[in-house]
């Protein structure tokens, strides 16, 4: 299967990065290179694009798509490790960083990846297939309360406790090995009258995927580290697809922007508040109506942009 991922808000991201032809740019979630190919087209021979992904199949697809470009470095790693990655490349600061936190169409549709609730596939859901933790392990070993909390927090699923209880009951009889087995449990846990907002397993599968790949817990610190890696006037563009992701990005931006907390009657600041830069768009940018029609996965996307000033 071809690694296919329609880049979300492509024009908005390219504009947001404010690309300099001789700059150094990082696509921390390069996927099928949908955003990267437009970034590298705007670079001169003196510019450099660094593509990072924890999915080796994504990197293979990106390498093929960008094979005619020589000013490219592809790294199999996690964007959470951006500081270490740049250190290994002997690069101190960069001019721009893009993080698209969505799951690619390829990952969702590839049969043996287990991301999709359609069909009958192995419960896997690993973006980096060299890691040990899989969806099968989460489903079959996590305690009921922990499972319920994950499904509620990451999936915003109101029937999380019933689903977790039924998972734990089912696995007493036999291990839950496939996506279809899990879907059946979820469908039997949600009243038919409440199964009207998309597929009933959608939220639970999202929650398990987030847990398996540790997508949210490190995000706040990753944003702070990414800002620290920017040159003055460098920009960070992040596309989120989940309310918890968006909140982490928003809060990290606000902290990096800095805010004086001194009493208003003081003649000057004594709290030592420092600003690392400015938030370009106070409200998140969302996909146009036309894009949402053409690419339904863009409906929940939010883009936030930060510019380093010091």
CATH class entry, domain 112-213: mainly alpha
Q: Which pTM value belongs to this model?
A: 0.87
Largest CA distance in the chain: 71
The yes-or-no verdict on residue 110 having pLDDT over 70 is no
Question: What is the per-residue pLDDT for 129?
Answer: 87
Element at 204 (helix H, strand E): helix 202-213
**For the residues 195-202, what does the mean pLDDT come to?**
86
The yes-or-no verdict on residue 106 having pLDDT over 70 is no
Name the band, by pLDDT with cuts 50, 70 and 90, for residue 109: low
Give the tokens for residue 137: 């392990």
Task: State how far the alpha carbon of 159 is from the alpha carbons of 61, 147, 156, 177, in Å.
Answer: 38, 12, 9, 22
The 8-class DSSP code of residue 189 comes to T
**For the residues 86-92, what does the mean pLDDT come to?**
97
Give the tokens for residue 14: 């390219």
Q: Who has greater pLDDT, 68 or 265? A: 68
Q: Which fold has domain 10-101+216-308?
A: Rossmann fold (3.40.50)
Question: What is the per-residue pLDDT for 248?
Answer: 95
**For the residues 215-235, what does the mean pLDDT come to?**
96
pLDDT above 90 as % of the chain: 78
Q: Who has greater pLDDT, 303 or 115? A: 303
The yes-or-no verdict on residue 83 having pLDDT over 80 is yes
Domain-wise residue ranges, the chain:
10-101+216-308, 112-213
**For the residues 182-203, what does the mean pLDDT come to?**
90
Task: State how far the alpha carbon of 296 is from the alpha carbons of 49, 122, 228, 309, in Å.
Answer: 29, 26, 34, 35
Burial-class residue 115 by CB neighbours within 10 Å (0-12, 13-18, 19+).
buried
**For the residues 135-151, what does the mean pLDDT come to?**
97
Question: Angle 301-302-308 (CA atoms, 0-180°, nearest 5)?
Answer: 140
């Amino acid at each position: 299967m071809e690694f296919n991922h329609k880049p979300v808000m492509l024009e908005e991201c390219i504009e947001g990065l404010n690309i300099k032809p001789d700059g150094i740019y990082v696509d921390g979630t390069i996927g099928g290179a949908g955003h990267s190919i437009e970034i590298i087209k705007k670079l001169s021979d003196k510019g450099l694009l660094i593509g990072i992904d924890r999915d080796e199949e994504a990197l293979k697809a990106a390498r093929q798509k960008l094979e005619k470009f020589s000013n490219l470095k592809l790294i199999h790693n996690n964007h959470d490790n951006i500081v270490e990655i740049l250190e290994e490349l002997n690069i101190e600061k960069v001019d721009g960083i893009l993080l698209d936190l969505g799951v690619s169409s390829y990952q969702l549709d590839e049969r043996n990846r287990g991301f999709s609730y359609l069909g009958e596939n192995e419960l896997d859901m690993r973006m980096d297939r060299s890691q040990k933790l899989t969806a099968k392990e989460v489903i079959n070993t996590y305690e009921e309360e922990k499972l319920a909390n994950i499904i509620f927090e990451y999936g915003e699923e109101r029937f999380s406790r019933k689903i977790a209880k039924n998972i734990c009951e089912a696995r007493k009889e036999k291990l839950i090995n496939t996506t279809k087995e899990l879907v059946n449990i979820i469908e039997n846990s949600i009243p038919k009258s409440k199964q009207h907002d998309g597929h009933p397993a959608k939220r639970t599968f999202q929650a398990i995927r987030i847990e398996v790949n540790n997508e949210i817990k490190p995000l706040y610190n990753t944003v702070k580290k990414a800002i620290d890696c920017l040159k003055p006037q460098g920009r960070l563009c992040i596309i989120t697809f989940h309310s918890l992701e968006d909140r982490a990005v928003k809060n990290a931006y606000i902290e990096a922007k800095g805010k004086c907390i001194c009493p208003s009657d003081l003649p000057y600041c004594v709290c030592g508040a420092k600003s690392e830069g400015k938030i370009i768009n106070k409200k998140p940018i969302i996909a146009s109506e036309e894009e949402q029609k053409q690419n339904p996965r863009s409906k929940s996307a939010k883009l936030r942009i930060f510019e380093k000033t010091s």
